[in-house]
Amino acid sequence: MSDRLTLEELAALMKSGAGITVDPAELASRPDARFDEYGLDSLGLLGIVGELENRRGRSLPTDADRCQTPREFLDLVNNSLMTGA
């Protein structure tokens, strides 16, 4: 696992944390599509945040579960991981 959250890892988290199968290539081609377009609701995103916090052993920003798109989520999470915030 790299220090940065990747689209592949996000797709795996969507599967394990919310039961939604999304091809990482689709996430890459549509990074600004809203999560609900992929079938992910706010409860599913909360599950992803919780699983990611458990995997990384650290808390994410409190607004991580309010992100609307994969790009927004990756930017927020990766910024947090890189700065330690």
Q: Which domain holds residue 59?
A: 7-83
pLDDT tier at 2 (50, 70, 90 boundaries)? low
The total number of structural domains in the chain stands at 1
With respect to residue 31, please indicate whether it lies within any of the assigned structural domains: yes
**Residue range 18-64, pLDDT digits in tens:** 899 999 999 999 999 999 999 999 999 999 999 999 988 889 998 99
Q: How far apart are CA 49 and CA 36, in angstroms?
A: 16
With respect to residue 2, please indicate whether it lies within any of the assigned structural domains: no
With respect to residue 75, please indicate whether it lies within any of the assigned structural domains: yes
With respect to residue 1, please indicate whether it lies within any of the assigned structural domains: no
With respect to residue 14, please indicate whether it lies within any of the assigned structural domains: yes
Phi, psi of 8 (to 5 degrees): -65, -45
pLDDT above 70 (res 6): yes
pLDDT above 80 (res 1): no
pLDDT above 90 (res 82): no
What pLDDT does 85 receive? 56
- CATH number (domain holding residue 34): 1.10.1200.10
